[in-house]
């Protein structure tokens, strides 16, 4: 476990990403070891989502290197990236569900892709079982035959989580999972992120603008017996393995623990501190 923890799952080395009118990421460097949770804060347009897309290879950096599972993906072509991307689960801001497919087809999509990639004839019979299992994880098993447009925003986000984790990826990227949702639904989504981390031991990178999301990830654990979240014991490793980052105008301006974030006197970083007492 110690050996695994030292392995870097995602690493940025002096990454700069430019768009025609703007520099989206400026010389960003960080490393996410296996089993760690990263909470990424930042104002709108600070480069958080671009960082996620760069990590996936959807956006190519102008300079620097991105490493996924120890492999430099910077110069890889779209086709060469697919095997690496298959090891990552992504939840897009709006869920990114295919609106012409049913929920079942959406969730089985990554599974089918993996089967196709392995061998066309190896279609295993337990496809539906795995889809149902993933939907049960987000408590939406009854929506199999529905289309995304028939679900609420929070439900679509939950289906997005089911689709992201149906292949059991070692790395999960969440792009603003709670954005635009009411506090109750937002907490449900974040509880699923905690559950995914604790039951599947996934490394998580969570882009958010809500301090509560980071607090929840850093201080709560999923209890499989009660099926609910409960405060994590100090020393359990959860708090220690949750690292906060703050982006500002494309640069990584803060990286540290929750306590270091709380103690920061930087005016910009301080804006992301929030209420600590949450249920």
The answer to whether 86 contacts another protein (rule: CB under 8 A) is yes
| Sole binder of another protein in the list 110, 154, 177, 248 (CB under 8 A) | 110
The answer to whether 18 contacts another protein (rule: CB under 8 A) is no
Cα(205)–Cα(173) distance, rounded to whole angstroms?
Answer: 5
- CA atoms 16, 74, 1, 138: torsion sign: positive
Closest among 59, 51, 54 to 247, alpha carbons compared: 51
Phi, psi (degrees; rounded to nearest 5) at 120:
-60, -30
DSSP 133-183: HHHHHTT-GGGTT--GGGS-HHHHHHHHHHHHHTT--SEEEEESTTTTS-H
Task: For residue 232, give the DSSP letter.
Answer: P
Q: Which stretch binds another protein (CB under 8 A): 32-40, 76-84, 198-206, 226-234?
A: 76-84
The answer to whether 210 contacts another protein (rule: CB under 8 A) is no
The answer to whether 3 contacts another protein (rule: CB under 8 A) is no
| Sole binder of another protein in the list 4, 116, 136, 234 (CB under 8 A) | 116
| Sole binder of another protein in the list 8, 74, 93, 257 (CB under 8 A) | 93
Q: 5 near 34, Cβ under 8 Å? A: yes
The answer to whether 98 contacts another protein (rule: CB under 8 A) is yes
* Site mask for another protein (CB under 8 A), range 31-70, x = bound: ----------------------x--x-x------------
Least distance CB 38 / another protein (angstroms)? 18
| Sole binder of another protein in the list 109, 185, 253, 278 (CB under 8 A) | 109
Q: How many residues does the chain have?
A: 279
Burial class of residue 37, CB neighbours in 10 A (0-12, 13-18, 19+): buried
Residue ranges in contact with another protein by CB under 8 A? 53, 56, 58, 78-79, 82-83, 85-86, 88, 90, 92-94, 96-99, 109-110, 113-114, 116-117, 120, 163
């Amino acid at each position: 476990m110690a050996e695994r923890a030292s392995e870097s799952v995602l690493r940025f080395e002096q990454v700069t990403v430019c768009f025609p009118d703007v520099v989206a990421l400026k010389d960003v460097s960080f490393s996410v070891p296996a089993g760690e949770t990263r909470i990424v804060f930042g104002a709108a347009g600070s480069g958080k989502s671009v960082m996620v897309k760069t990590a996936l290879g959807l956006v190519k950096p102008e300079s620097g290197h991105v490493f996924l599972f120890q492999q430099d993906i910077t110069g890889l072509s779209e086709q060469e990236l697919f095997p690496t991307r298959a090891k990552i689960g992504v939840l897009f801001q709006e869920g990114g569900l295919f609106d012409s497919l049913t929920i079942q087809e959406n969730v089985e999509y990554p599974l089918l892709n993996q089967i196709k990639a392995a061998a066309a004839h190896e279609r295993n019979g337990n496809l539906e079982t795995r889809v149902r299992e993933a939907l049960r994880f987000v408590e939406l098993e009854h929506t199999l035959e529905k289309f995304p447009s028939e679900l609420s925003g929070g439900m679509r986000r939950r289906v997005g989580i089911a689709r992201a984790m149906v292949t059991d990826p070692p790395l999960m990227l969440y792009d603003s999972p709670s954005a635009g949702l009411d506090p109750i639904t937002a907490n449900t989504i974040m509880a699923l992120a905690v559950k995914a981390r604790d039951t599947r031991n996934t490394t998580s990178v969570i882009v958010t603008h809500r301090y509560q999301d980071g607090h929840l990830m850093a201080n709560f654990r999923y209890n499989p017996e009660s099926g609910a979240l409960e405060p994590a014991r100090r020393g359990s490793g959860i708090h220690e393995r949750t690292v906060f980052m703050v982006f500002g105008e494309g640069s990584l301006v803060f990286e540290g623990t929750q306590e270091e974030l709380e103690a920061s006197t930087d005016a910009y970083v301080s804006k992301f501190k929030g209420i600590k007492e949450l249920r």
